[in-house]
Amino acid sequence: MSVLVVGTVAFDSIETPYGRAREALGGSATYFSLAASLFGPVRLVSVVGDDFPRRHLRRLARRGVHLDGLEVAKGKTFRWAGRYDGDLSEARTLSTDLNVYGRFAPRIPAAWRGSPFLFLANGAPANQLSVLAQVARPRLAVADTMNFWIDTTRPELLEVLRRVDGLCLNGEEAKALAGERNLIRAGTRLLEMGPRLVLVKKGEHGSFLFSRRLRFALPAYPTGNVRDTTGAGDSFAGGFLGSLSGSRRLDGRALRRAVAYGTVVASFTVESLGTGALERADRGDVQRRFREMVRFASL
């Protein structure tokens, strides 16, 4: 079943101890789409400028990413530049140029309003609410967020939490949003704020899944080849929702497997600067690493 994603398509300029990339294809919706498309069709809603090359569109289309919701606006595409030091756990943003994304008001194509799976990538809660108002109730709607929105638009973000099924964020953000210093307490508190699933991304330390009936933790895939962690969180969400989109039931077993698929897909993303390693991965690669994860993480 189709997964609908609303987020950014961008040019990323990245510096790491292992090399640098200039104006590489990036953005939350890009990474999510490339990840989720390993499992089934993806519907992408975003905006790019008239400087966005057709070859990037073809890269996405080849993977089964439908682009009818990708608006091309007059002006320049969103650009982000960042630098990673040391262990690559966190980027320092060097510059953010919203460009056409600064005026983005997401419009969901009529044919896509009944999409069963929805991912609201990190973005203004007002935009996330606008998308939720346009779609029929999905089987599973998951929103991502970050510190900036927690600090500046908390009331709108709390409204998003009441309207989605799942929340996806990193450990520090979970603690900040919940007002708890302990991650387990934070997860429990966030469930009280609306969503029935809370997915906490911890980078090299793996992830947590909290629901009212399930608590599950999984380490990251043990790759010794981490080059660039940009897009890892969105890839994780893409693998998670992509995997669920192929599940008959959204029970505990399906959720655990989805976390593992998210983990595996993100492990490809971090192995190259930009989207290269993720684009090269195929379903066979994903299955092999999934089986490795089972051996690596199971008692």
Between 84 and 123, how does the x/- string for binding to its own copies read (CB under 8 A)? --xxx-----------------------------------
**Interface with its own copies, residue 265, by CB under 8 A:** no
- Tokens for 92, please give them: 């320092």
Place of tokens 């294809």: 25
| Of the candidate residues 9, 174, 183, 281, the single one contacting its own copies (CB under 8 A) | 183
204 near its own copies, rule: CB under 8 A: yes
In eight-state DSSP terms, residue 274 is: T
Give the residue with the Cβ less far from its own copies, 225 or 287: 225
**What x-and-dash track marks residues 159-178 binding its own copies by CB under 8 A?**
----------------x---
CB of residue 143 to its own copies, shortest distance in Å? 23
For residues 6 and 293, which CB has a smaller minimum distance to its own copies in the complex?
A: 293
Residue with smaller CB distance to its own copies, 23 or 285 = 285
> Taking contact as CB under 8 A, which single stretch among the options 49-57, 103-111, 154-162, 204-212 is the one that binds its own copies?
204-212
Residues 6 or more apart whose CB falls under 8 angstroms from that of 127 comprise 6, 104, 105, 106
202 binds its own copies (CB under 8 A): yes
* Residue range at the interface with its own copies (CB under 8 A); choices 143-151, 159-167, 243-251, 291-299: 291-299
285 token code pair: 């690669």
**Does the footprint of its own copies cover residue 19 (CB under 8 A)?**
no
| Consecutive H or E run containing 13 | strand 10-16
Q: Using CB atoms within 10 Å of the CB of residue 242, give its burial: 0 to 12 exposed, 13 to 18 middle, 19+ buried.
A: buried
Binding part of the chain for its own copies, among 92-100, 214-222, 232-240, 278-286 by CB under 8 A, reads 214-222
Tell me how far, at minimum, the Cβ of 176 lies from its own copies, in Å. Answer: 12
Residues 6+ away with beta carbon under 8 Å from 95: 79, 80, 81
Out of 24, 218, 264, 277, the only residue in the binding site for its own copies (CB under 8 A) is: 218
Q: Which of 106, 92, 126 is closest to 43 using CA atoms? A: 106
Taking CB under 8 A as the binding criterion, the range among 3-11, 58-66, 109-117, 181-189 that sits at the site for its own copies is 181-189
The residues with which 69 forms a beta bridge, in sequence order, are: 45
Q: How many CA atoms lie less than 13 Å away from 70 in the CB half-sphere?
A: 23
- Who contacts 33 (Cβ-Cβ below 8 Å, separation ≥6)? 5, 42, 44, 60, 63, 65, 238
**CA-to-CA dists, residue 56 to 83, 144, 159, 169, 232, angstroms:** 23, 24, 35, 28, 19
Give the range of 31-39, 132-140, 234-242, 254-262 binding its own copies by CB under 8 A. 254-262
Binding residue for its own copies (CB under 8 A) from 58, 62, 215, 288? 215
How far is Cα of residue 101 from the mean position of the Cα atoms in its chain?
A: 18
Residues that bind its own copies (CB under 8 A): 17, 86-88, 175, 181-185, 188, 202, 204-206, 208, 215-219, 222-226, 256-257, 260, 293-294, 296-299
